[in-house]
C-alpha cells in the first residue's frame, strides 16, 4: 500500500478508490488536529504540526 501522501497524489480511477483514500484521511486527521472550533454550522480544525 502506498503512503498516504503518495496515494493523495495519485489520480483515482473510480469511486471505490476515492472512498478508500477518503477513509484513510479521516482516520489520520485525529493525529494532527490540535484545535477544533465549532461556529454555527461549521467545524474549523487547525494543526500546529501542519502549520495551518
Q: What is the pLDDT of residue 50?
A: 61
Q: What is the pLDDT of residue 51?
A: 60
**Prediction pTM value:** 0.70
Report the half-sphere exposure of 30 (CA within 13 A, side-chain side).
3
Taking only the tens of pLDDT, the chain with its 52 residues reads: 899 999 999 999 999 999 999 999 999 988 889 999 999 999 998 888 766 5
Q: Cα–Cα distance between 45 and 52 in angstroms, integer?
A: 9
Q: What is the pLDDT of residue 1?
A: 85
Which cell goes with 15?
469511486
Q: What is the pLDDT of residue 48?
A: 85
Tracing cell 471505490 back to the chain, one arrives at: 16
N-to-C CA span, the chain: 27
Amino acid at each position: 500500500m502506498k503512503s498516504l501522501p503518495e496515494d493523495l497524489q495519485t489520480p483515482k480511477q473510480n469511486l471505490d478508490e476515492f472512498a478508500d483514500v477518503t477513509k484513510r484521511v479521516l482516520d489520520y486527521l485525529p493525529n494532527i488536529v490540535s484545535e477544533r472550533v465549532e461556529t454555527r454550522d461549521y467545524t474549523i480544525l487547525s494543526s500546529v504540526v501542519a502549520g495551518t
